[in-house]
């Protein structure tokens, strides 16, 4: 037991060092690395429902978008009039001082974490009674509705979009912005990982699994399934909100349906990444997100105009050849590496039977 822990320690400290050194090693790739961190957070937290609880949610994008708008609104609203900021064609220019920018960002992220969590609780209370496909379709509607509603609210820019506060001009170093957002997203990634890892060792996960495997039986066992389902979703919402807040600041421009409530891309990507890596595993979504991001960044520019066709092919390949994801496939191939004990005699007997 101790030995395994030591190996884990080496792995984790290695990864953290790599994570901290990455923006210096690959200075030109900081923005892509920030995206990667955010994608991993989204995939990992989606996995909590989709993988562990068996509730396929397309609605997590709601919390992501909410976090994005909230962070930007708070960051602006704390110091200026939000309506004047978003009014297009306004002649006034507002400039955040360095202190204002970071204060606003800090408070904004806090709000962006808390409010979506509460919203998840409220919505979850209303719709988590739905099961299977019904839940999936219902959450699909959530993201679309949110996008349309946000596109009609004048104070957050409506169809014009919302330009988030620019990084303070007093910081002259052009690398500083990239580094700031990278480390912020890396911090959230580490937090999310520690949290999910903790859940993986807890009774909470077993309850989620029980809900996935047979909700009625779980209920019969005396588990208040509704309560756990809601809490599970709230956990995801917390991190989705944070991720959204960071992305809003990084992109610098929030559009209601294309950037914030971007169910067509981010909303689908988070599901895809988790499935690609293997849902219901700790490392699956992380590996899935990483591979997906490399695939996207590496290949897409070489097949200009055809990238979505390639993505479609990728989805088909995953579903047909790796229905359990990469982790699932590895597990089937090398079960002993996953700590599964195999009776050699039994295995041979099975092979002979075949």
Decide whether 101 or 135 has the Cβ nearer to another protein: 101
* CB 345, min distance to another protein, A: 24
Residue 55 burial class via C-beta count within 10 angstroms: exposed 0-12, middle 13-18, buried 19 and up: buried
* 133 sits near another protein (criterion: CB under 8 A): no
Identify the three-state secondary structure at position 55.
coil
* CB 179, min distance to another protein, A: 13
Q: Which of 1, 5, 6, 91 binds another protein (CB under 8 A)?
A: 91
Name the one range near another protein by CB under 8 A: 10-18, 46-54, 184-192, 232-240.
10-18
- Residues facing 162 on adjacent strands: 254
CA distance 206 to 196: 13
Site string for another protein, 172-191 (x = CB under 8 A): --x--x--------------
Name the one range near another protein by CB under 8 A: 103-111, 217-225, 293-301, 321-329.
293-301
| Contact between residue 122 and residue 93 where contact means Cβ atoms under 8 Å apart | no
Residue 46 burial class via C-beta count within 10 angstroms: exposed 0-12, middle 13-18, buried 19 and up: buried
DSSP sequence for 78-121 = TTS-HHHHH-TT--------HHHHHHHHHHHHHHHHHHHHHHHH
Identify the three-state secondary structure at position 130.
coil
* 166 sits near another protein (criterion: CB under 8 A): yes
User: How many residues touch another protein (CB under 8 A)?
Assistant: 53
* Token pair belonging to 114: 């808390």
* 352 sits near another protein (criterion: CB under 8 A): no
* 159 sits near another protein (criterion: CB under 8 A): yes
CA distance 94 to 103: 16
Find the binding residues for another protein in span 31-50 (CB under 8 A). 31-32, 35
* CB 346, min distance to another protein, A: 23
Q: For residue 39, give the DSSP letter.
A: H
Q: Give contact residues for another protein (rule: CB under 8 A).
A: 4, 7, 10-11, 14, 18, 25-32, 35, 88-91, 93, 148, 151-152, 158-161, 163, 166-167, 174, 177, 247, 250-253, 255-259, 262, 265, 294, 300-301, 304-305, 307-308, 337, 339
């Amino acid at each position: 037991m101790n030995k395994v822990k030591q190996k884990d320690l080496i792995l984790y400290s290695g990864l953290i060092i790599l994570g901290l050194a990455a923006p210096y090693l690959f200075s030109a790739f900081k923005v892509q690395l920030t995206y990667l961190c955010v994608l991993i957070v989204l995939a990992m937290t989606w996995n909590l429902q989709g993988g562990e609880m068996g509730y396929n949610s397309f609605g997590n994008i709601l919390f992501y978008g909410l976090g994005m708008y909230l962070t930007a609104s708070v960051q602006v609203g704390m110091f200026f009039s939000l309506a004047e900021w978003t009014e297009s064609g306004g002649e006034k220019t507002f400039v955040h001082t360095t202190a204002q920018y970071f204060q606003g960002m800090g408070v904004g992220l806090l709000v962006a974490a808390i409010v979506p969590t509460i919203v998840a609780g409220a919505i979850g209370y209303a719709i988590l009674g739905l099961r299977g496909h019904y839940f999936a379709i219902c959450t699909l509607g959530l993201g679309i509705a949110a996008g349309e509603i946000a596109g009609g609210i004048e104070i957050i820019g409506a169809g014009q979009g919302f330009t988030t506060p620019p990084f303070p001009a007093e910081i002259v170093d052009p690398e500083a912005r990239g580094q700031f957002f990278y480390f912020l997203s890396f911090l959230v990634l580490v937090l999310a990982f520690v949290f999910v890892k903790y859940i993986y060792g807890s009774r909470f996960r077993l309850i989620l699994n029980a809900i996935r495997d047979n909700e009625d039986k779980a209920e019969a066992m005396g588990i208040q399934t509704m309560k756990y389902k809601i809490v599970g979703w709230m956990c995801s919402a917390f991190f989705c909100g944070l991720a959204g807040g960071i992305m809003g600041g990084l992109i610098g421009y929030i559009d209601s349906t294309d950037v914030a409530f971007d169910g067509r891309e981010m909303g689908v990507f988070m599901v895809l990444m988790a499935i690609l890596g293997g849902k219901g595993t700790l490392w699956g979504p992380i590996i899935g997100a990483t591979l997906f991001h490399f695939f996207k960044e590496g290949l897409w520019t070489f097949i200009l105009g055809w990238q979505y066709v390639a993505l479609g092919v990728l989805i088909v390949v995953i579903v047909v050849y790796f229905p359990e994801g990469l982790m699932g496939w590895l597990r089937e191939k090398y079960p002993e590496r996953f700590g599964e004990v195999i009776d050699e005699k039994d295995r041979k007997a099975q092979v002979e039977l075949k």
